[in-house]
Amino acid sequence: MNTELVGSIAQIVMMIVLAYPLGRYIAKVYKGEKTCLDFLAPVERWIFKLCGIDPNVEMSWKGFLKALLTVNLFWFFWGMFLLYFQQYLPLNPDGNAGQSSHLSFNTCISFMVNCNLQHYSGESGLTYFTQLFVIMLFQFITAATGMAALAGIYKAMAAKTTQTIGNFWNLLMKSTTRILLPLALIVGFILIMQGTPMGFDGKMKVTTLEGQEQMVSQGPAAAIIPIKQLGTNGGGYFGVNSSHPLENPTYLTNMVECWAILVLPMAMVFALGFYLKRKKLAFSIFGVMLFAYLASIGINTYYEMNGNPMISAMGIDQDAGAMEGKETRLGAAATALWSCTTTVTSNGSVNGMHDSTMPLSGMMEMLNMQINTWFGGVGVGFMNYYAFLIIAVFISGLMVGRTPEFLGKKVEAREMKIATIVALAHPFVILIGTAVACYYWVYNPAFVEAEGGWLNNPGFHGLSEMLYEYTSASANNGSGFEGLGDNTWFWNFTTGLALIISRYLPIVGQVAIAGLLAQKKFIPESAGTLKTDTATFAVMTFSVIFIVAALSFFPALTLGPIAEYFSIY
């Protein structure tokens, strides 16, 4: 059998097999049970004491959200300041300049909301200092923020009736020290042994075999890449992310990095089962997500391995697949797998250029982000699914004429309103954003020209570039059809707004739903209760999600990737 396909299968198997025990471990961490990393407890206690934080105070859902939003607000100022003034700060051996005000606004927000949309190139747009004290720091703590929010929701779901959902600071700390940090170290060790740079020297000057001069960018890459993958951040150290041969030097590093994208989002679903002691519910949710994930892998792998029909028509040998924008050491199948893995989660790292993938692969990449619930970002991904679960419970309840209940709690108008707003905000932001961009493109060409023309490809594909950018921003993904010239006032500013809305609105809404439900009276399960852990209900949830996404996005996708598909096949 083709070794590229075997490699892809091995990666998927490795994710699932290791996510299960990791999920059990995560549930233990959030419940405060004994784990093998308890020796870190004194360090955590010491930090809390220094900061004047009592990690044992239970918070109401409102207090929890207040702490979460305040610390995020502080990070915004921290990031803006350091990025804007980076040229005056230490650790800048290559003499890179500070970021412009609208670029630092976009960069700061994008890393603060765990999106990592990058409108600059890592080699020249950041210094080693900002790479470590803004980018990498945010990659840890914003991922931990999402995980902490989910841990709060777990607590709310597990309790019979409760006014409190845990301590935000404690969950934030535990997510960082007990989960992200140890995993990042392991991945970092592997990358270093495989040849990823981890030093502080500036660019390396080499004279090539043909006598030319080549400046090789390097730096502390092996520290940033692990957390970029694990925290569903995705912001690459180098401009081209994990297609860069120093960021992803071998097929082994590719397997490890791709594994690292999905292992935590998968583990968080299993953790739900262990935390609530409802393994069947977790398995049925996992099944829905895995099915959607595998379906998109199938489509992308097929199209990427078969190559570009327009190039086949030129009569050359395209056995290797569609190699434009891909790397020889990774191959077409590995890039197809990665393109799905990075878009079902909110990761957004790439190991090949999505702009150059085949039309329907590009469509699946967008659709994964537009649906935004298959595994999703660490923490926030499952929370999106949770909003759809509530909607599915409500609709099924109406269909069979039973009071809609989820885990012993009545779902009522207030929760439904919040869930609906959260579910509809996503398509709203994406489609309105794209529509505004299209309007400018058509009716104000002078403005677009002054911004450098934006698009790198004409026709249907050009529309896809704009649609992809807003999709990626709203899904807090951060990958791009990178042909789009997006370091401009318009794109920095508008996608920055999209980022804020689509990060905080869902978090607030989902935590609120969980908090509201938790306060309600617990109704014991009876023969009349709608079962939410069955295959039927799994299919129901899948349908609700798919219909909402397909109905909202189908027209836009028809004009972009689907039209392009019919123009070349």
Indicate whether 319 belongs to the interface with another protein (CB under 8 A).
yes
Q: Minimum CB separation from another protein for residue 339, in Å?
A: 11
- Complex with another protein: residue 162 or 306, whichever CB lies closer: 306
What distances in angstroms separate CA 526 from CA 411, 529, 531, one per listed residue? 16, 5, 10
Q: What minimum distance in Å lies between the beta carbon of 137 and another protein?
A: 6
Q: Which is nearer to another protein, 334 or 371 (CB)?
A: 334
Residue given tokens 């049925």 in the structure block = 284
Residue of 184, 269, 407, 498 that binds another protein (CB under 8 A) = 184
- The residue type at 161: T
Q: Pick the binder of another protein from 318, 349, 476, 532 (CB under 8 A).
A: 318
Name which position in 16, 37, 181, 539 contacts another protein (CB under 8 A): 181
Nearer to another protein, 343 or 373 (CB): 343
Q: Compute the Cα dihedral for 357, 301, 385, 157 and give only its sign.
A: negative
Q: Which of 85, 189, 439, 554 binds another protein (CB under 8 A)?
A: 189
What is the residue whose two structure tokens read 């419940």? 31
- Cα separation, 106 vs 110, in Å, equals 6
With 0-12 CB in 10 A as exposed, 13-18 as middle and 19+ as buried, what is 441?
Answer: middle
Question: Which of 5-13, 339-347, 377-385, 442-450 is the region at the interface with another protein (rule: CB under 8 A)?
Answer: 5-13
Minimal distance, residue 152 CB to another protein, in Å: 17
Task: Using the minimum distance from each CB to another protein, give the nearer residue, 207 or 526.
Answer: 207
Stretch touching another protein by CB under 8 A, among 24-32, 153-161, 219-227, 283-291: 219-227
Indicate whether 217 belongs to the interface with another protein (CB under 8 A): yes
Q: Please, which contacts does 81-89 make with residues 24 or more away whose CB atoms are closer than 8 Å?
A: 82/129, 82/130, 82/133, 82/134, 83/107, 83/108, 83/126, 83/130, 83/134, 86/126, 86/127, 86/129, 86/130, 87/127, 89/127, 89/129, 89/130
Query: Letter for the amino acid at 528?
Result: G
Query: What are residue 468's phi and psi, to 5 degrees?
Result: -60, -40
Of 104, 170, 356, 487, which one interacts with another protein (CB under 8 A)? 356
Buried b (16+ CB within 10 A) or exposed e, 184-202: beebbebbeebebbeeeee
d(CA 352, CA 354): 6
Site string for another protein, 38-77 (x = CB under 8 A): -----x---x--xxxx------------xx--xx-xxx--
CA angle 505, 229, 26 (to 5 degrees): 75
| 208 makes contact with another protein (CB under 8 A) | yes
- Identify which of residues 310 and 535 has a Cβ nearer to another protein in the complex: 310
Closest CA to 386 of 263, 290, 512: 512
Stretch that binds another protein, among 273-281, 302-310, 399-407, 431-439 (CB under 8 A): 302-310
Annotate 467-496 with b (16+ C-beta within 10 A) or e (fewer).
bbbbbbbbbbbbbbbbbbbbbbebbbebbb
* One of 239, 287, 397, 408 touching another protein (CB under 8 A): 239
Closest CB to another protein among 27 and 332? 332
Footprint on residues 477-516 left by another protein (CB under 8 A): 481-483
Torsion of CA 235, 264, 27, 177, to 10 degrees: -40
Question: Out of 15, 80, 115, 137, which residue is the one contacting another protein (CB under 8 A)?
Answer: 137
- Residue whose tokens read 């991904």: 381
Task: Compose the 78-117 pattern: x for residues touching another protein by CB under 8 A, - for all others.
Answer: x---------------------------------------
Q: C-beta of 560: minimal distance to another protein in Å?
A: 10
Binding segment for another protein (CB under 8 A), chosen from 104-112, 197-205, 504-512, 513-521, is 197-205
Contact with another protein (CB under 8 A) among 13, 17, 57, 193? 193
**Binding region for another protein (CB under 8 A) out of 269-277, 288-296, 304-312, 431-439:** 304-312
Q: Is 220 among the residues that bind another protein (CB under 8 A)?
A: yes
d(CA 153, CA 165): 7
Length of the chain: 569
163 near another protein, rule: CB under 8 A? no
Site for another protein in 549-568 (CB under 8 A): 564, 567-568
Size of the site for another protein (CB under 8 A): 118
Shortest distance (Å) from residue 220 CB to another protein: 6
Q: Does 152 bind another protein (CB under 8 A)?
A: no
Let me know: does 173 contact 55? Beta carbons within 8 Å.
Answer: yes
Candidate list 251, 441, 490, 504; residue touching another protein; CB under 8 A: 251
3-state secondary structure of 239: coil
The binder of another protein chosen from 308, 349, 479, 494 (CB under 8 A): 308
* Dihedral in degrees, nearest 10, Cα atoms 61, 63, 66, 72: -80
- The footprint of another protein on residues 380-419 (CB under 8 A) is none
Structure tokens at 324: 């434009």
Phi, psi dihedral angles at 205 (to 5 degrees) = -95, 125
The DSSP letter of residue 175 is I
What the block records as the tokens of 355 is: 């702009």
Residue 274 binds to another protein (criterion: CB under 8 A): no
Largest Cα–Cα distance in the chain? 80
Min dist. Cβ of residue 215 to another protein (A): 4
Query: Judged by CB under 8 A, which of 273, 352, 404, 478 binds another protein?
Result: 352
Q: From the list 17, 204, 295, 547, which residue makes contact with another protein (rule: CB under 8 A)? A: 204
- Contact between 358 and another protein by CB under 8 A: the answer reads yes
| Nearest-approach distance from CB 120 to another protein, in angstroms | 12
Phi, psi of 247 (to 5 degrees): -80, -25
